Amino acid sequence: MQTPWPPLPTTPRKDIEWRLPRRARSVGRARELFREQVASWGLPQGVTDTAELLLSELMTNAYRHAKVPAGREIWARCTVAEDRIRVTVTDANDTLPTPGTASLEDESGRGLALVAALADDWGTERRQCGIGKEVWFEFVTTPSNHRKQITGESCLQVTQLRLLGD
């Protein structure tokens, strides 16, 4: 018998996607669906709490800023493989977002800064089909390796971002 190539992962891949209408209430629905799913997968609470916050930020950005025709959806996907969780939000707008610099008076504009501060990795890319973009972030899920839960160094970064908004 031949060994499959490439070698199979040592743990099964967990993958789920939600397609939600481009409405404000879809942000809360995405958080709810995410919480239920990661609980069933038994992921560490510190990782999932932070990932839920960042999912909310990306869903809010897609809802508020993706100027697309009516009826377009926002897709949220969560994938766990080996020791990483990856959350991706997809919308039909082609403009790739970049972290902004919010002024002291701004009530918004810090979402991607939070993603950059708290995620182990993140990025943006155009969809392969040519319509829209994906914004994603990743966390290491093993507690001993996870550096950026909402504690320690990242708590200071989040506090600094909040102070900018006060």
Give the contacts of 154 (CB within 8 A, at least 6 positions apart). 50, 117, 118, 148
Q: Using a pLDDT cut of 90, give the percent of the chain over it.
A: 45
At 91-142, the pLDDT tens digits run 988 888 887 777 777 677 788 989 999 999 999 999 888 788 999 999 998 7
Buried b or exposed e, range 57-85, using 16+ CB within 10 angstroms: bbbbbbbeebebeeeebbbbbbbbeeebb
106-32-110 Cα angle (round to 5): 15
Closest among 60, 69, 80, 67 to 135, alpha carbons compared: 60
What CA–CA distance (Å, rounded) separates 7 from 127?
28
Summarize the confidence of residues 12-20 as an average pLDDT: 88
Q: Is the pTM of this model over 0.75?
A: yes
3-state SS assignment for residue 34: helix
Q: φ, ψ for residue 20 (rounded to 5)?
A: -120, 150
At 71-94, the pLDDT tens digits run 789 999 999 988 899 999 999 888
Residue scoring higher pLDDT (20 or 8) = 20
Q: Where are the alpha helices (DSSP H) in 1-147?
A: 25-41, 45-65, 111-118
